[in-house]
Amino acid sequence: MIKPHGSEQLRPLYVDDAAVIEEAEGLPALLLNSAAAANAVMLGAGYFTPLSGYMNIADAMSVADNMYTTESLFWPVPILNRTHDISSIQGAERIALRDPNVAGNPVLAVQQVAAIEILSDEQLQHMTAKVFHSSSTDHPGVQTFQGLGKYVISGPIQVLNYSYFATEFPDTFRTAVQIREQIKRNGWQKVVAFQTRNPMHRAHEELCKMALEILAADGVLIHMLLGKLKPGDIPADVRDAAIRKMVELYFPKNTALITGYGFDMLYAGPREAVLHAVFRQNCGCSHLIVGRDHAGVGSFYGPFDAQTIFDEEVPAGALAIEIFKADNTAYSRKLDRVVMMRDAPDHTPEDFVNLSGTKVRELLSAGKELPLEFARPEVAHILMDYYQKQSP
């Protein structure tokens, strides 16, 4: 199986240690923001191997500038613990990090404080522009990132639990350790990962099947984001149900592994695509599907920026995982099957069955069926039920 990134073995930061749990209750405490809490979950689960905790400003700026830490580890986005208020932890060497996403704010992790630094406005703007390729506060990722606070608390962490992900999604949330173990049990050697923050329609289904066939892969990891999204996106539990139904009915047996990971969407386009590749390598995947506008939002990125970054900015040998480059897929009326649009140069837009997200929501909210060429009916009915409950 493919090696983890930057390490011979995974380095999950989760600890099951009664002494640390007891110690945490008496430590000075910091209430995390959701972004820092998600970083802790990813560190605990081994997804962010080989990092030992949160970065300092020097590492964050180096990563933003050239995708390397100051110690020459390839890494695409800063992994930070930022806050607006350090009054509760000033002078402390070890602190308890409390979870903002669980009632009662239980301790999520314990951090050894290496440094508390102040991020200047200039550094924040520079980092934002490099990571998001934008400084516009109309960009939801930029808006979130710029509002996380000026204090940067760096240092190694010990993670005590997986926040709400393990309890709310017990059948879906899996650590990188668990995914590697399952891939090994399945006897898979070549595994292609499919990233999703949306339900999967026919085009997504067929794209996974195309990748399986073209790569002669043993299986596909359908890996869904379970964390925070922008307003209007479909909740994780609905996506989970829709994807499970699709795989149950329409995938060959024992070819798809449905899992989820505990992270908030960054909407960072190309840089986030590279992060997706890093932690899918840590999961044991040999390939990652990178499609049109992968991890993008609105019109902030070009349609294939998330593919070209691997050719133009990711140094050779920086990653062991390979990229499967995909175009938009859609049902061809001419060919009576789903195709990648680049493989059908003789087609006009009218030759494809393509619906906008707005049109899909309108049809489902009205209780109208989606075209069979666009969505499996069993999947569409799950989404229809959700949208009709949202209607006034």
Q: How many Å separate Cα 363 from the centre of its chain?
A: 28
Per the annotation, the verdict on 376 as an active-site residue is: no
- Residue 150's CB is within 10 A of a number of other CB atoms, namely 15
What are the helix (H) ranges across the chain? 18-24, 34-44, 57-66, 121-132, 140-146, 165-168, 176-186, 202-215, 236-250, 269-283, 305-312, 357-365, 377-390
C-alpha distance across the termini of the chain, in Å: 51
In angstroms, the CA 248 to CA 250 distance is: 6
Q: How many Å separate Cα 212 from the centre of its chain?
A: 21
| CB distance 314 to 322 below 8 Å | no
Q: How many Å separate Cα 202 from the centre of its chain?
A: 22
What are the helix (H) ranges across 45-139? 57-66, 121-132
Per the annotation, the verdict on 292 as an active-site residue is: no
| CB distance 285 to 241 below 8 Å | no
The three-state secondary structure class of 54 is strand
Catalytic residue among 105, 198, 328, 354: 198
Tokens representing 173? Answer: 């949330």
H or E segment and range at residue 221:
strand 219-225
Catalytic residue among 94, 105, 186, 197: 197
Instruction: Examine residue 235 and say whether the peptide bond preceding it is cis (omega within 30 degrees of 0).
Output: no
Residue with tokens 């999604």: 169
| CB distance 290 to 325 below 8 Å | yes
Which active-site residues does the annotation give? Answer: 197-198
